[in-house]
Structures are given as structure tokens and as C-alpha cells.
Structure 1
Amino acid sequence: MSDVIPFKYNNEEVRTVTINGDAWFVAKDVCDVLDIANVTQAISRLDDDERTMLNIGRQGETNVVNEPGLYSLILGSRKPEAKQFKRWITHEVIPSIRKTGSYGSSIDLSKLSPELQMFKATFDAVAKIQIEASEAKQQIAEVQNKVNTIQETILQRDENWRQKITGMLNGAAQRFGGHQEVRKESYSRLEERAHCKLNTRLANLKDRLEESGATKTKIEKANRLDVIEADPKLKEIYSTIVKELSIGALL
């Protein structure tokens, strides 16, 4: 085992050692950078050949991980900077260790047979694709969560309010000659008092839903009540108008 080689990443120390030409990283240092609180739990999820215990000095036995183990920890991190940290490892740390001759220098790849060189190149390419695919999958999941949140926010409904509005409109409809006429009147009064155009706002709402990736059905179901409910001022004015219509039907 070589001496401990410390590297600095954003003022945080990441210690490394080499064992039989392979780079190993102190697990606690890696987890600190990746905001992984439970080091023991994170290490337990790795394969046996990706982790081990080493005596690196005054700290005694310490958990360390090799490159595959390191990449597994990186993929398990939710920290946005995890990808940047991986790039730092692959573009700075590993090349620096190799430059000292203590990592990757025990085998002269040019002396391998063409078949083995091709095998190694294929293996490296597949490993890179797998890592990138895992990262892409995680990014897609994060984007989908954001999209769902946006859609839920846009169409967040107060069912109790809608039930009350519907109940009052139904009562008014019995007096004024039909639900369609009453709703049309209520929307007309709202546009006059609030100085707004509901159809324009509805079109804008559907555009926002489409941009956020909402389904065609959800977009088509969006209506003027969604527009009114999304604006506290319109909601308050419309509630007053519906109450007036309901009371007027009783007089």
C-alpha cells in the first residue's frame, strides 16, 4: 500500500491510497463531498470487491472504496454537484495518480495482444455507457417530478369551494331558466367587474399545461373555473357574484 495522497475538492479533503496499482478512496471523505450522511449504510450497499478496510494511520481501520465503488456512491447521491465531482475524479485525480507511476503503470497496454486491447476498449466503452445511462435515468426522474409538481400546482383544486359554487348556481338555475344561462351570466358579470377576459386566460392556462407536459385529456378538461380558482382576486369576486345570483333567485 502506498502513502495516503490527499486531494482538495472545493476545500474538502479526499484522501486516496493505491493498493497493487489500484486507486482507493476514503469512504467518509467521498460521502462528505456527496452529502451522504450515513457512511456505513452507503458502504454496505456496495459489492464486496468494491470496498475494504485499511489502516491508514492514526484513525486506524478506515472504510475505503475503489473506482467502481466510488462511481456507485456518486450515482447514489442526489447532490446536483455529483456529476461535477465525478468529472473531477476522472479528469484530475486519476490522471494525477497515474502520472506518479503508482496507478495504472504496472501494465503496459501497448504490449497486450490486439484482441485484449480491443476487449479493454470495449469494456471501457460499455462501462462509460452504463454510467451515463444511470445518470440520464436519474435526471429524467428528477425532471418528471418537477413536471408533476408544476401540473399539480397549476390545477390545484378546492373541491369544497367548487361544491358550494355549483350548489348556489343550481339554486339560481331553477329560477333563471337553466344551468347554462346562469353560468354564462356569472362569467359575464365577472369579466365586467374584474376587467378580465376568461377565454384569453383559459387559452394561456392550456398553453402552460402543454409546456409542462400535461396529457391531452388534462389540457382539454381545463375550464374557466380553473382560471378563476387560480387567481385569489377572481375567486373572491366570482364567489360574491354567485352568492348574488343565488340570493336573487330567492327574492
Structure 2
Amino acid sequence: MQKNLLQLCYEGECGENYIRSMNEKGQIFVSLSDVLRTLSAENRKLDGKTSQSLLTVIRAVIKTLDPDEFRNVSLVVDGETISEVFLTEPGLYRVLAQDTTAAGKKFQRWLFHQVLPSIREFGVYPPPPKQERSELSAFANSLQQTVQALVMEIEKREELESRVNQVELKVNSLESLRDLSQFRSVPQRLMELGLDTYSVEELWQWCEKLRSERGAERIKCPSGLNINSCYPLALVDEAIAIYQKVVEARTRQ
């Protein structure tokens, strides 16, 4: 835990006071003893009153807190391991709400308006110089420009793909003007022959095999479905004959 401690410097009426804090997974914890010590010193400086024992005050304050408003943290101080109470933000609000003095209000304003917002945004207090923040902003702008360029590239590719599809549709339209009486798709030929029980997918694969081996023509279907592509009628019939032999061989096994 000690390696994660942040030292917050509060410059009040009695000089600098350091308050230990932790930022654990976005949850902020603040040392109860450091907060009470700082408030006690500031109030003593402003009104001159003698304060109670810090240990007595700490014990009294802890009794007012709910279990989830503080945490006991093990720290190594001068070679010894000690346990100290660190407040969660709700616990911090509860403790500071009990101090209505001028010193308490000033301390609250510093903590809630400067420290906590800085730790949430940058992870440290005081916040980094504006130059570093400008560099971060420049990086964010550069990243945004890169994303925009990527989006534009995707849009261009989609537009190009759309144009290619349009050209393909036009080609298919021209193909539809041809005399296709000697071409058939597998579903068409099976319907003509009354062979509705045959596997369209397997027959289409045989047509593709024969077409590839012989360099035969294939006319794609405008719908884009491969099984609806048209092949020379003789090739489709040959594929059906091969398929029938394959089915017969399977039956004999």
C-alpha cells in the first residue's frame, strides 16, 4: 500500500500540512489522522483554542463512521508496521461535515474543489502542467483523426464494393438476354426430371468439379446463390449420372 500513497500538500494558515491518500482502482482513500491533525492545527491557529488529544479525537470519530466508510491500512513507518485508518469519500464527507469552523470550510473547499477532481482526472495532485495536458489533448485529436480516416476508408471500400456489385448485376442482365435453352441450374434440371429427392448441394459440387476440369462455362445467378448457377445441359446430366452411381454404391455398402 505504501508505494501507492500520494502526499497532498495543504497550504493553510499554519503553513504546509501533508495528507496521505491512495487511489485504488478509482476509489480514493484519505488518512484520517492527517485530516484531523491538519484541521486541529488550522483551528488552533485561527482561534487559539487548545485542541483535544489527537488519539482521543480519532477514536471518537471512528465511532461515528459506518464500516464501509473507512479502512485499516498497514503501513511501514520507521521500520515498524502500523495500522492506520484511511477514509473513503463517504467517510470523508461525514467527518468534514462535523467541522463547521472557518478552517474546516476552507479545507473542505480545497479538498472537494481541487484535490479530488484532479486525482479523478489525472491520478495526481496537483494536476500536471498545461503543456502535458495539451500533449494529451493533441494525442486525442490525432487519434480522432486516425479513426475518421479509417471510417472514410471503410466508406470508400463499401462504395467500391457497391459499384462492383452493380457492374456484376449489369453483366448478369446481359447474360439473361442470351439463349439459355442449353443451360440449366441443378434445381431446374432435377425438377424437369422429377428427381426432387436428389441432393442439390452434392450435385452442384459435381457440376463445379466437371466445370473446373473441362473449363466449361458457368452463368452466375443474379441472386448470388451458387447452387442456382447455370451450366451446360450435358454437363448437368453427366453430373446427375455420376451422382446416381455414387448413391447406388453407397446403397450396396
TM-score (ref. length: structure 1) = 0.38
Q: Higher relative contact order by CA 8 Å / sep ≥ 6: 1 or 2?
A: 1
TM-score (ref. length: structure 2) = 0.37
